[in-house]
Amino acid sequence: MEFEHYAIAAAVGTAYGALAGILKYLLIWRPLLFGRRAVDQKNFGVAQIISLVANVAILLSVFLLRHWWPYHFEVTILATALALSLTGRFTQLRDIKKMDALKKAPHDLSTTDGNGSN
């Protein structure tokens, strides 16, 4: 029965951290990457602060629910933190690869060299 408690705590913590990480990335970082917001020092700093506050709030929610959670709190919060950080990294890498592919693709194929000059 002990292993099941660890497994359930790890699975729920991972799912919660991954979901929160994906939502945080979609709402905060993706608009900066794809130009929906200007990428300047102010917007980047604000996004970092909001992201940090969101991370603290997500982990604080796990901490505050520890008395009602029937499984191991330590495993849950570690799995949440790990999934939260890894989800942000993996979604960011995926979008950076997409952006690099868009930059390498020629925008104007009507010219001979694809760069707008003949």
Of the candidate ranges 37-41, 56-60, 96-100, the one whose mean pLDDT is the lowest:
96-100
**What is the percentage of the chain residues whose pLDDT exceeds 70?**
76
- Yes or no: say if 86 and 14 are a contact pair by the CB < 8 Å rule: no
Identify the band that residue 102 occupies on the pLDDT scale cut at 50, 70 and 90: low
13-29 pLDDT, tens digit each: 999 999 999 999 888 88
Question: Distance between CA atoms of 46 and 85, rounded to whole angstroms?
Answer: 19
Using the predicted structure, report yes or no on whether residue 118 has a pLDDT greater than 60: no
Q: Provide the 10 A C-beta neighbour count for residue 80.
A: 27
Q: Where are the domains of the chain?
A: 2-85
> 17: which residues sit within 8 A by CB, 6+ positions away?
58, 79, 80, 81, 82, 83, 84, 87
